[in-house]
Each structure stands twice: as structure tokens, then as C-alpha cells.
Amino acid sequence: MLNQCSHILTKAVEKVTRSYSEVACSEDMGSQRKKVPYSEAIQLAGFGKFQWLLLLVCGTANASDAIEILCVSFLLPSAECDLRLSSSDKGWLSAIIFIGMMIGSYLWGTLGDYFGRRIVLVTALLVNGGFGCLSSLAQSFPVFLVIRLFSGIGVGGSIPVVWSYFAEFQTEKSRPRQMCFLASFWMIGNIVTAALAWIIIPQVHIGFFSEHFLFNSWRIFVVVCSSFAIFSALTLLHFPESPMFLLKKGKEQEAIAVLEGIYQRNKPDLSKKVAYKVSGLYIDASDGSEPDLVISTGWCRFTAETAQGADCPGQKPLGTDITNLERQTSE
């Protein structure tokens, strides 16, 4: 009887001690939450499942751009008769998407800095895919040419924005490798385009044929190629906005919530025991992401840090020679 009482008492003491330890641990976790630079916050969120899923989606978006550019080269021989194309017309069809890309790169790059990476990327992909599908219905060369121009505007937006969006979710250590993986999807897109053309275009008996309207194999090929952009746009709707963009726009708590969601996705078991230890964020100049001066031009970004020669050790800041020349002239 005495032993039983002693055993029950011991169990009760252990239970109380365990409860006290858990409370103390949670209080300690709360006290460790602190304000950290963005690079450290993304490092604490970890690298794992979230980044790999994002690579697949952004990679598909990148591949869809390559597919949209290359598909015209494969359809020209088949479309030549349907659209009565001259040699000059073929040249315009090959060039028009690049003219659209030149326009779109400036437009979408600027919008991405103001309205957000994700929403602009999704919109650009939908423009690309939507007008790509619409071009398959064109029954004349001028109509087909104009629609392909708008498709190129979409391509010009998704190419620069997808790189910015993807990079801002990567840790400093994983970023170079992941960016190389993202670039490889461009080549995958080229291979997919060739494979689809080989499978679909020779099937001349498929489609819809009438006196005034044709929807044959090369048009089906165009629709299939455009579907990749639409698929990646719809999938991106399930991903969050870039936390770096949110932080730059002063939405600190929203950025922390996104990073905490990444932490929970990458470390599901640990996140149940240890809370995400970030209570505040700031952009440190040492992160290489200080947005003192950023001019969006779509294809490239000109930063104050680059202008001062910070990225090239030993290089004189931009304007030094001009300043010295002016000084010598005045003397």
C-alpha cells in the first residue's frame, strides 16, 4: 500500500514538473523572438519542400516562355499555306514576339515593383497564354501577327519577374544552385516544344475543317504550347507574395507571416515544438538587397550599390574619372 502511494506521488510530481518545463520552454521561445535582417529571417525559415515546389512552378513558367518563343519556328511550314505567308511575312512572325517582349519588359518590370511580384507574374502569364490560345483561331496573317504581338508582351513580363520572385524566397546558400536549376527549365522548354511539334503537327487529319474556318493540327499545337503558361499562372495563385516585396512596402507583419508559413512547410515537426523566432524584419545593407535606388527596366536593374562600384572590388566608383577630369579642366 505504501509503495503504491509512493508510486502515485512520484508520477504526480513528474507530471507537474513536465508541465512546468513545457511552460518555461514556451516562455523561453517567446523571449527569443527578435528583430532580424531579412537574410537571417529567410535562413531561419529554412530550405526545403516549399522552395522545391516553387522551383517546379516557376520553372514551368520559365519553360512556357521558351515554348511560346520557339513554337512559331515549328508552325511556319504548316501555316504557310493556310495564312498565305510570303518570305517577308515569315520574318515578321518570327520577330513580332521579340518586339512584344521589348515592350512588355519595361511595362511589367515597373508594375512588379509597384503592385507585387506574384500578381504581376500571374497576369503576364495569363496574357501570354490567353493571347497564345487566341492566335490559334486567327484565319488571316494580319490578325495572327497582332495577336502574337500581345502574346510577346506577356512573355516579356514573365521572364524578368519570375527571376525576381523566385530569388527572393531563397536562402543565401541555396540561391546560386536554385537559380541554375531555374535556368535549366528554359532548355527543358525547348525540348518539350520540339517533342510536341513532332507529335502533333504531322497529324493532319485532326481538327475542324470548313469552308470559312480551319482549326487544324498546327493550331492545336499552338493551344497546347500556350497551356503551359496558363497552368503555371493558376498554380502560382496558391503561393504567397514575395516577403521581400512586402517588407519594402512596409508590410512587415505580412512578410513575417509568409516566412512563418515557409518555416512550417519546410520544418513541420520542428515548428510544432519550436516557434519561428522572428518578431521583426529589416533590410540590412550587407544583404545586398538594400533598395536605396532601384530603377526597373524589365531586363536589368540599376542599383545605387552597383553605381558606386560595390559589386566589383577594386573598381573605382562610377563618375570618379569624370569628376577628376572636371577638376583638371577648372584648374
φ, ψ dihedrals at 171, nearest 5°: -75, 160
The residue that leads in pLDDT, 279 or 24, is 279
Say if residue 8's pLDDT is above 60.
Answer: no
C-alpha cell at 84: 498565305
C-alpha cell at 276: 519561428
Say if residue 329's pLDDT is above 90.
Answer: no
Sole residue written with cell 513580363 = 157
pLDDT of amino acid 276: 84
CA-closest candidate to residue 197, choices 97, 90, 60, 78: 78
The residue that leads in pLDDT, 154 or 30, is 154
pLDDT band for position 10 (50/70/90)?
Answer: low
pLDDT band for position 209 (50/70/90)?
Answer: confident
Q: Where in the chain is the domain with CATH 1.20.1250.20?
A: 43-244
Q: What does the pLDDT average to over 153-162?
A: 92
Q: What does the pLDDT average to over 132-149?
A: 94
Give the span between the Cα atoms of 166 and 295, in whole angstroms: 19
Give the span between the Cα atoms of 245 and 106, in whole angstroms: 18
pLDDT digits (tens, 9 = 90+) for 53-92: 999 999 999 999 999 999 999 999 889 888 889 999 999 9
Say if residue 145's pLDDT is above 70.
Answer: yes
pLDDT band for position 293 (50/70/90)?
Answer: very low
Look up residue 279 and give its DSSP letter: E
| Axis-axis angle for helices 87-115, 117-135 (nearest 10) | 160
pLDDT of amino acid 231: 96
pLDDT of amino acid 47: 92
> Angle at Cα 308 formed by Cα 163 and Cα 162, nearest 5°?
5
The residue that leads in pLDDT, 296 or 204, is 204
Say if residue 310's pLDDT is above 80.
Answer: no
One-character DSSP codes across 97-123: HHHHHHHHHHHHHHHHHHH-HHHHHHH
Say if residue 299's pLDDT is above 80.
Answer: no
CATH superfamily for domain 43-244: MFS general substrate transporter like domains (1.20.1250.20)
Look up residue 287 and give its DSSP letter: G
Say if residue 309's pLDDT is above 90.
Answer: no
Task: Look up the pTM and report it.
Answer: 0.76
The kind and range of the H/E element at 281 are strand 278-282
Min mean pLDDT across 17-31, 69-83, 207-221, 236-250 is at: 17-31
Say if residue 306's pLDDT is above 80.
Answer: no
C-alpha cell at 142: 494580319
Tell me the average pLDDT of the chain: 80
CA-closest candidate to residue 283, choices 308, 235, 317, 250: 250
What percent of the chain shows pLDDT beyond 90?
53
